[in-house]
Amino acid sequence: MIIEFYSEGPGVLIEKKRRILFIADIHMGIEHELQKSGFYIRSRGQERITRICNLITESDPDMMVILGDVKHRIPGTSYQEFFELNNLFSAIRKLIPFIVTPGNHDPGIEEFLKTEEISKKEGSILDTTGILHGHMIPDPALSGHLILCGHHHPVVSLTDQVGVALKTPCFILGEVNSNIFPDETDEDESTRILMIPSFNELTGYGIEKIFRSPFSPLSRSLIIETAEILLPDGSYAGDLQSHLAHEKNAAT
Ligand SMILES: [Fe+2]
């Protein structure tokens, strides 16, 4: 198995039978929803489409998986989303086949997709890799596999001795407790997850929030002591437990 990280996404490519590119949480249409909160930002939708196409060209995959939250508005579809989603999917179709694992922001996404471009919300297996957005309890079929998910938008702060901080999206890789699959009997079988950072540059949750107040079955089941933090280019940035302890100390 070959794994390639692409900081320009961020995204990750896994090569087994095929070269498959994974990205998550594009949140097209976020600018329209931010206007309701008083933030007037022009749409960056076309820039995101260009970034995705450039990433496909650079990484040269056989196919791509979008791990959910392609759109932002729930419920319904905004005017901005209606046009930008059609542009996004037609641009990708010109380059490679793709599938979407629907996320909690994706009700109605099926109107923009062909049947073969949608996979199960509860997760499925693609070339031995588990894929799902991450807001639901995963299908038991994913037990024992490496599971790739979105949903969590992880961001880590790196500080030096004088307190200068760099905030950056990051990947989280670790084992999940087997009790997330209650009907599975093989407790020796290890299941790992790789949380993919948000492709949308306006969103992100600090790792403190994700793992001290976990908001998904996967984040609640992650065994913190096993988890590592990887920067968008794949470089190792320490273990999760140490980062959480450091951020807690910095806050007190
Ligand atoms: Fe999301």
Gap between the Cα atoms of 154 and 236, Å rounded: 15
Ordered strands of the 236-239 beta sheet: 124-126, 129-131, 146-149, 191-195, 171-176, 228-230, 236-239
**What are the CA-CA distances from residue 202 to residues 33, 102, 205, 220 (Å)?**
12, 20, 11, 25
Measure 198 CA to ligand 1 centroid, in angstroms: 7
Cβ < 5 A residues, ion ligand 1 = 25, 69
Q: Is the distance from CB of 21 to CB of 64 less than 8 angstroms?
A: yes
Which domain CATH number covers 223?
3.60.21
The residue range of the domain holding 44 is 2-251
Average pLDDT over residues 19-23: 98
Would you state the pLDDT for residue 19? 98
Distance 248 CA to ligand 1 centre (A): 25
In the structure encoding, which two tokens stand for residue 220, read together?
């609640």
* pLDDT recorded at residue 182: 74
Tokens of 74: 């729930």
pLDDT-derived band at 164 (thresholds 50, 70, 90) equals: confident
The model's confidence at residue 184, banded by pLDDT at 50, 70 and 90, is low
Q: Of how many residues is the chain composed?
A: 252
Indicate if the alpha-carbon torsion angle 230, 120, 89, 39 is positive or negative.
negative
The amino acid sitting at 214 is: P
The mean pLDDT value of the chain amounts to: 94
Q: Is the pLDDT assigned to residue 62 strictly greater than 90?
A: yes
Q: How far is the CA of 161 from the centre of ligand 1 (A)?
A: 33
Total number of domains in the chain: 1
